[in-house]
Amino acid sequence: MSTLRRMSYAGKKRKLDKTRQDRVYFDSYSDVTVHEEMIADYVRTNTYRTAILKNSELIRGKVVLDVGAGTGVLSIFCAQAGAKKVYAVEACSIAEQAVEIVKQNNVEDVVEVIRGTVETVELPEKVEVIVSEWMGYALLHESMLNSVLYARDRWLKAGGLILPSRAELYITPISDPVVEDRLYFWYTVKEQYGVDMSCMSNFARRCIKNSDIIVSNVAMEDVLSHPARFAELDLHSVTVEELRTVKGRFTCESFGSAAVNAFCVYFTVTFPCPEKPHSLVLSTSPFYPETHWKQAVLYLDSPVEVVQDTPFSGEVSMFPSEDSSRHICIHVDYTIGEQKEQSKTFSIPDWTAEPQP
């Protein structure tokens, strides 16, 4: 579940209190656009549907909690899989639409939509299954996983089912030719219009290759190595404290000669299936069909030329922003070939900023 709003004006950063952070976050899900984007994401929605139906033997006759239910589509999937009762907990006003959707699908005797946060609502009973589409950009943006872990500790019976049950984070170097073309553009203006604007190149570089986490689709031909997994989260055991900093080391080698100008971070989530050892994986890899999460692109300050088998190594750390706990920051310490280790910290652009006076 992820949404990203960009402001049309220059903003100044400021720290928001937790109540306002939550209000801004929940308000962003009150508009139809974000729900249209999520439901229209076939990879996302159909993978959840398939995972729920494949686990129908474990869901049939059981009580389910849907954390951050949105329009209620996952709750309805659970009802279709035979759940005895589904508590669809949703904090924003889209819950009103979820009630209508539940009625329209004739499952109101099974699915109960509850307006509120999972941290504040009271359920009449413990549950045997938790389902949630909690993932944000770069997996952890919006920090909704914290709510899923609260629900697990407060409401899930021992040995209960969590869908999905595992998440993994990957990093890989990339060569993005579009960015280099945009920087070179300023050298072509004189030939076209007789005005030399090549001095704009440095300004463009500072604007484009800044410290923002850029959410965009990476073409698989721009990926320069096998992906390196740097973190794994087991939703049955991970704690909120451990989410304060998710980090891990990585190593990989270049496929060939190119100019590395960014790293790409993406995630997978895994759903258990009764027919072990098989499982169902939802991947946001550049090598898999596109999702609305796309990939998180981290631009280096300057490109680095590499050749076949040039080694990459380093450590990735992910942690909440000091300005807003729901915003994710990514810090990368990295070494490319024989170069000295370099570091850079990236963050999601702040859509809660106020306009400058």
Active-site positions read 133, 142
- The full DSSP string for 72-124 is SHHHHHHHHTT-SEEEEEE-STHHHHHHHHHHHTT-TTTEEEEES-TTT---S
Task: Quote the CA–CA distance of 302 and 323 in Å, as a whole number.
Answer: 27
Helix (H, G, I), strand (E, B) or coil at 25: helix
Spatial CB neighbours of 99, under 8 Å, sequence gap ≥ 6: 72, 113
Would residue 100 be called left, alpha or beta, if left means φ above 0 and alpha means ψ between -120 and 50 degrees? alpha
Burial class for 18, CB neighbours closer than 10 Å (0-12, 13-18, 19+): exposed
Spatial CB neighbours of 125, under 8 Å, sequence gap ≥ 6: 63, 85
Helix (H, G, I), strand (E, B) or coil at 193: helix
Residues 318, 138 contacting (CB under 8 angstroms): yes
**Of residues 228, 211, 225, the one with CA closest to residue 169:** 228
Tokens 């280790």 -> residue: 341
Task: Quote the CA–CA distance of 146 and 152 in Å, as a whole number.
Answer: 10
Tokens 């159909």 -> residue: 46
Q: Where are the beta strands (DSSP E) in 273-327?
A: 279-283, 295-306, 311-320
Structure tokens at 135: 């993932």
Residues 258, 309 contacting (CB under 8 angstroms): no
**Of residues 78, 1, 55, 44, the one with CA closest to residue 279:** 55
